[in-house]
Amino acid sequence: MQTIVISIVQVLFIIVLAIGLVRVVQKFISGAPDALGSLGWLLGGVILWFGFNYFKEDLASAMGGGQGGVTP
């Protein structure tokens, strides 16, 4: 169950980041005044995605997966 949830979250992150990348590029091409702000949000999303992937084992164990306890 945990692997399904983690996979779904990863796919959603990738979709949202792809949409965000397209919007940021459009704003830079059109010269929108908030292009740098959008780039900041996109970078924040990328950092969040890498953080999620880095800690996904801890998240899976917190959701009830993993062995738990102390292993010798």
69 domain-assigned: no
Express each pLDDT in 8-31 by its tens digit. Answer: 888 998 999 999 999 999 999 999
Residue 38 has pLDDT above 80, yes or no: yes
14 domain-assigned: yes
The total number of structural domains in the chain stands at 1
41 domain-assigned: yes
Q: Can you give the three-state secondary structure of 54-71, one letter per residue?
A: HCHHHHHHHCCCCCCCCC
pTM of structure = 0.68
64 domain-assigned: no
10 domain-assigned: yes
Residue 60 has pLDDT above 70, yes or no: no
3-state DSSP call for residue 29? helix
The dihedral through the CA atoms of 8, 11, 17, 20 has a sign that is negative
71 domain-assigned: no
Q: What is the mean pLDDT of residues 37-62?
A: 84
Between 37 and 3, the more confident residue is 37
Domain that residue 21 falls in: 6-54
Of all residues in the chain, the percent with pLDDT exceeding 70 is 83
